[in-house]
Structure formats: C-alpha cells, structure tokens
C-alpha cells in the first residue's frame, strides 16, 4: 500500500535520497527543511502531486507541530517519519563552548524530540506508523573529536529504543539507522562546525579539521542506495531496531560490540560482587 512519508532535512544528502526513493516506490512524501528553496531545488525533478514541501527547522518545536499538522492536512495521514536533519560539531570536547554543544543537541537531539512529540499522537490515533531515526556509527561508539555529535546521536539511540518499547502496543515501529560514511554534504566545509576556542595543549595532536575534512568527497556510502534500502525497511513487517548502513559501519561496529561483550565476560565476577545479600 502507498505510504505517506515525512522527511526532515530533505534538501540534501540522505534526506533528498530518501524522498526520491519513496516517490519512486509510488509513495507520497512531505519533504521538509529550514531552507525551503533548497528543498524545492533538490527535488524539482521529481515534483508531482505526490510531493509536498513544508517549512521546518527541527530545532523549533512550534514549527515541528505546524509542519506535522500541514502534512496531515495535505495527505490525511503519516506512515513513515524520517528524522534525518542534522549537522556535526567536531573537535576536542574541552575546546567547545556550552552554547556550541547546546546548538548541536538542539538540532540533532531536540529536533528528533520535537518531531516525535508532534507525530506520535497522529500515529497513535492511526494505530500504525514507523519512525526511522537517523543516528550514526557515532551513536554506537565514541570517536575522537566527536564528543558533541556522538552525545547527540547516543541520546537519539536511548530515546528511540525506549520509546519503541512504549509505542509498540499502538502498532508503531521504530528503527534506528547507523550509517557509516556516506557521500553527502555533512562534512562539507560550509556545514561542519568547529569549536571557536583552542587550547594549546591539544595543538600537538592532528588538527580535527585536517582529520575530518579528508573524508569529505571520499565517503564510500551511496545515499541513493540507502534511500532504496529504507523504502524496503519501511515495508517490512518486522523491521530492524538498529540498522547499520554500509560495510564500514558493519566493520567498525561489529568488533566494538564484540569487545563490549568480552568486557562483560571479563568483569562478570566483579559485576556480580556488587549484588546485595538482603
Ligand atoms: N553522511 C554521513 O556520512 C552520515 C553518517 C552518519 C550519520 N549521518 C546523519 O545523516 C543525516 C543526514 O545527513 P547527510 O549526510 O545527508 O548530510 P547533509 O547533506 O549535510 O544533510 C543534512 C540536512 O540536514 C539539514 N538540517 C541541518 N540542521 C537543520 C535544522 N535545524 N532543521 C532542519 N534541517 C536541518 C540540512 O539543511 P540545511 O541545508 O538547511 O543546513 C541538510 O539538508 C544527519 O542526521 C547525519 O548526522 C550522516
């Protein structure tokens, strides 16, 4: 059956690719973004009555409510929400200011919160729906220079896994997507934010900008292929709770999770030693 998608940050990269893949599957799409011209330009070649454009800066709760209302007005329901909008603040944690950290969370975490709070009543009423929350490898593993970004994505993981257990009873599914490196604008000079402050002690290390900029334009993941796979996942009766997208994600996350399991084994006796004898 044709589905109605609601995609945040649809003006580039993975968001655009998902919107196009859903339209190719004959679904309907509400493509949202904070810069609506950019979203319209990115999708102008697939414009049709199955595609609606709606203004949404996810950091703004009021806009999230209004965008969901607009989507329901247009297509009467929402089947799949893709919380995709995001950016990365990269650098040493100590060099970040609190406002820089808060802005990262305002988009990457609270943006997801705002959209989920707006859309869950709709899905609950429908007794169906699928939330697809785009996290990251950095939502599963901590990486150097990624403290703020990883914190925002780990928060999305905790939120999603917990809410999933609460809303399953209403027929609502939740899937986290942990992409490896995908060829998008995420690491483009214009989009990455770097800490405004620098601390001399970190100067001897490789500069975060040099490390991360090197990935830009060389990422292996193809957003169009990910879009297609997410359309497939949205049609599954039992979709994955956590989907690791790309062979780099699988190759990085598998050993990290195996190491975590090993640590449980190594420290099992010490863990159990904290049990009370009440
Ligand atoms: N590409 C990767 O390697 C990779 C890996 C792991 C996870 N991810 C995640 O995938 C998602 C999509 O990123 P991408 O790779 O496709 O990068 P992208 O091409 O830079 O797309 C990010 C989109 O998010 C939008 N956005 C940023 N802040 C927003 C806000 N406050 N409100 C609404 N839209 C906002 C951007 O819009 P503007 O043009 O207005 O800034 C842009 O369209 C992100 O959540 C990212 O963390 C990507």
What percent of the chain is modeled with pLDDT above 70? Answer: 100
Helix (H, G, I), strand (E, B) or coil at 38: helix
Confidence of residue 10 (pLDDT cuts 50, 70, 90): very high
Q: What is the pLDDT of residue 259?
A: 98
Region 146-166 average pLDDT:
98
Distances (CA, A) of 202 to 24, 122, 146, 205: 48, 48, 15, 6
pLDDT tens digits, residue range 55-102?
Answer: 999 999 999 999 999 999 999 999 999 999 999 999 999 999 999 999
Which residue owns the Cα nearest ligand 1 atom 17? 186
Residue 179 Cα: closest atom of ligand 1: 6
Ligand 1 pocket: which residues have CB below 6 Å? 8-9, 11-15, 33-35, 38, 56-59, 84-87, 107, 111, 134, 136, 179, 181-182, 184-186, 191, 219
Whether 146 contacts 124, CB under 8 Å? no
pLDDT tens digits, residue range 129-140?
Answer: 999 999 999 999
Catalytic residue positions, numbered: 135, 149, 153
pLDDT tens digits, residue range 228-240?
Answer: 999 999 999 999 9
For ligand 1, the distance from its centroid to the CA atom of residue 163, given in whole angstroms, is 23
For ligand 1, the distance from its centroid to the CA atom of residue 192, given in whole angstroms, is 10
CB-side exposure of 175: number of CA atoms within 13 Å?
24
Whether 82 contacts 134, CB under 8 Å? yes
For ligand 1, the distance from its centroid to the CA atom of residue 271, given in whole angstroms, is 40
Helix (H, G, I), strand (E, B) or coil at 163: helix
> Within its chain, how far is the Cα of 39 from the centroid?
18
80-83 sheet: strands from edge to edge: 51-55, 28-33, 4-7, 80-83, 129-134, 172-179, 242-245
Residue (of 74, 147, 75, 85) closest to 116 by Cα position: 85
**Rounded Cα gap, residues 254 and 247, in angstroms:** 10
Residue 210 burial (C-beta neighbours within 10 Å; 0-12, 13-18, 19+)? exposed
Structure tokens at 179: 């992409």
pLDDT tens digits, residue range 187-202?
Answer: 999 999 999 999 999 9
Whether 159 contacts 202, CB under 8 Å? no
For ligand 1, the distance from its centroid to the CA atom of residue 267, given in whole angstroms, is 39
Q: Is it the case that residue 1 has pLDDT exceeding 90?
A: no
CB atoms < 10 A from the CB of 66, how many? 15
Instruction: Quote the strand ranges of the chain, DSSP E.
Output: 4-7, 28-33, 51-55, 80-83, 129-134, 172-179, 242-245
Region 8-17 average pLDDT:
98
Which residue owns the Cα nearest ligand 1 atom 7? 136
Confidence of residue 220 (pLDDT cuts 50, 70, 90): very high
Residue (of 173, 133, 167, 172) closest to 153 by Cα position: 133
Region 220-231 average pLDDT:
98
Give the chain's radius of gyration (CA, Å).
Answer: 20
Pocket probe for ligand 1: among 6, 8, 9, the residue whose CB has the most ligand atoms within 8 Å is 9
CB atoms < 10 A from the CB of 124, how many? 15
Which residue owns the Cα nearest ligand 1 atom 37? 9
Q: What is the mean pLDDT of the chain?
A: 97
Whether 172 contacts 124, CB under 8 Å? yes
């Amino acid at each position: 059956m044709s589905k109605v998608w609601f995609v945040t940050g649809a003006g580039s990269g993975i968001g655009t690719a998902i919107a196009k893949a859903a339209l190719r599957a004959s679904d309907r799409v509400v493509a949202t973004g904070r810069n609506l011209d950019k979203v319209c330009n990115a999708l102008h070649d697939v414009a049709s009555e199955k595609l609606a454009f709606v203004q949404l800066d996810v950091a703004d709760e009021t806009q999230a409510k209004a965008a969901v209302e607009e989507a329901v007005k247009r297509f009467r329901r929402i089947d799949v929400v893709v919380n995709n909008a995001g950016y990365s603040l990269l650098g040493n944690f100590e060099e970040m200011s609190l406002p820089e950290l808060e802005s990262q969370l305002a988009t990457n975490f609270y943006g997801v919160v705002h959209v989920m709070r707006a859309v869950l009543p709709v899905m609950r009423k429908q007794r169906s729906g699928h939330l697809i929350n785009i996290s990251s490898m950095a939502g599963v593993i901590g990486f150097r220079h990624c403290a703020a970004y990883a914190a925002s994505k780990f928060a999305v993981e905790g939120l999603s896994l917990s809410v999933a257990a609460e809303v399953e009873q209403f027929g609502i599914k939740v899937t986290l997507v942990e992409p490896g490196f995908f060829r998008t604008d995420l690491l483009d000079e214009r989009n990455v934010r770097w800490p405004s402050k620098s601390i001399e002690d970190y100067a001897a290390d490789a500069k975060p900008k040099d490390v991360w900029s090197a990935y830009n334009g060389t990422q292996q993941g193809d957003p169009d292929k990910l879009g297609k796979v997410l359309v497939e996942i949205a049609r599954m009766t039992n979709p994955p709770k956590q989907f690791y997208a790309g062979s780099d994600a699988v190759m990085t996350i598998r050993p990290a999770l195996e190491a975590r399991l090993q640590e449980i084994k190594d420290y099992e006796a010490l863990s159990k030693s904290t049990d009370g004898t009440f």
